[in-house]
Amino acid sequence: MSALNASDRIAAGPGSRLLDPLVLQRVGNLELVARGVVEGFLHGLHRSPFTGRSLDFAEHRPYTPGDDLRRVDWALLARTDRYFVKEFEAETNANFTVYLDCSTSMKFGSRGVTKLEYGKFLAASLVYLARRQGDRIGAVTFDDEVRDWIPCSARNLDLILLTLDRTEALRPGDLGPAFESLVTKPVKRGIVAVVSDLYGDPEVLAPILGRLRAAGSDIVVFHLLDRAELDLPWEGAITMEDLETGVTLPVTPEALREEYRERIERHVREMGLALAGVGAEHTLVDTSVPLDYALYRYLTLRQERRRTGRWASPS
């Protein structure tokens, strides 16, 4: 049994049926998927920990006829005997950008849903959720270099969803150069969600993302892995073909399973440590579990950052 199963995976909560990747795969329309996921996810939260915290106080202004009396600051009236109304600053200045890995390794899926499809669902859901939160949203797809880049904007939801929908894994990926080109893009400070299977050297990738973090962005990395990538469940002699390089390798999985598990777990662990070292949030996502877990992690991160005041500031 993998250690990852026990510590990092979260069982699906109530309503997860609607967030099941296999169900979502049948929907076909990415916008519907994203809406369904987010609405279902939010509906499933019995008591949202985020209620009333979506707006920040900005300033007082004198009351003018027609203002909503509910917004009158009665305490200030008592102290000053003047009518002021509270102005709240909406969070529209928060920028959310999702980076989606579309290298050929993302084509893999052992149970009907590939990692790329899962990544699309997750990215769409995140941007939908962010937009619902009032954030400006952007998206980037990449393999060994940036393929599509949609800057942050409040009006880009449809474009992002369309772009994500059309994204295909056509080329092998090289995360190092891809991340290098990502951090050089003029991205506004905000939240960056990276969706990738992260087949690369943690010691190389983490510093690059660290530079993004240093530039003022908060980074959450969704490390997508299929369950078969974690467990290597096959039996008998098989020939494995590397989706990235095309290299084939005859193996006997049962003979290699334990050692393979140790190495993939070590890789995930080292990736998490390396990313934490640069202030990025690392989350392993098993593509067989519903999407709400990833969304939950995102909102949790967002809330924690807001609560601790470290939001959008380097740690």
Partner 1 sequence: MGLAFLTPLFLAGLAALAVPVVIHLIRRHRGESLAFPSLMFLRELPVRSVRRRRLRDWPLLLVRLAALALIVLAFARPVLQGAEEEEAGGEGFREVVVVLDRSWTMRLGDRWERALEGVEGVLAGLVTPDRVSLVLYEGSGEVVVEPTLDSSGVRAVLDTLAPGWGPARIGAGLQAAAGVLEASDRERREVFLAGDLNRRSWEASSGDGLPRGARLDLLDLGDDRAGLAAPVDVSFQYQIVDGRQRAHPRARILALGELPGREVEVVLNLDGREVERQRVELAEEGAVPVEFTPFFVPVEGAQGSVSVELPGWSSPLPPWRFVLSPDELRRVVLVDPSTPGDDRGVYLRSALGLTGGVPIRVERRGGTALSVTDLEGVHLVVLNDVPLPGGAPGERLRERIEAGMGLIVIAGPRSDPAAWEAGWSAFLPGQVGAPVETRTERGGRLARIDGDHPVFAAFGGAGRAGLGDPRFFRYRSFEPDTAGAGGAVRIAARFDDGTPALVERRVGEGRVLVWMTSMDAVWSDLPLNPAFVPLVQEMASHAAPPSGLAPAYLVGQPLDPVFLRRRAGILDEAEGAPPALLVPPDGRGVTIPAGAGRLPPDLREPGHYTVRPEAQPGAAGWGFAVNVDMREADPSRMEASELAAGAGAGGAPATAGAVPVDGVEGSGARLEERERRQSGWLLLLLAAALLLAAEPLVANRFRGLAERFADSDVKV
Site residues for partner 1 per CB under 8 A = 1, 105-108, 115, 197, 199, 226, 229, 231, 233-245, 247-252, 255-256, 259-260, 263-264, 267
Closest distance to partner 1 from the beta carbon of 240 (Å): 4
Nearest to 97 by CA among 313, 298, 275: 298
Residue (211 or 267) nearer to partner 1, CB: 267
Closest distance to partner 1 from the beta carbon of 188 (Å): 32
Task: Give the count of beta carbons closer than 10 Å to the beta carbon of residue 115.
Answer: 26
Closest distance to partner 1 from the beta carbon of 222 (Å): 16
CA distance 188 to 136: 10
CA atoms within 13 A on the CB side of 155: 0
Q: What is the CA radius of gyration of the chain?
A: 22
Instruction: Report helix, strand or coil for 174.
Output: coil
Residue (218 or 231) nearer to partner 1, CB: 231
CA distance 197 to 255: 25
Closest distance to partner 1 from the beta carbon of 267 (Å): 7
By the 8 A CB rule, do 254 and 241 touch?
no
Residue (115 or 302) nearer to partner 1, CB: 115
CA distance 149 to 207: 22
Residue (158 or 235) nearer to partner 1, CB: 235
Closest distance to partner 1 from the beta carbon of 224 (Å): 10
Residue (218 or 229) nearer to partner 1, CB: 229
- Bridge-based pairing of strands 95-101 and 190-196 is parallel
Closest distance to partner 1 from the beta carbon of 119 (Å): 13
Residue (55 or 240) nearer to partner 1, CB: 240
By the 8 A CB rule, do 278 and 202 touch?
no
Geometric angle at alpha carbon 101, from 197 and 27, rounded to 5°: 95
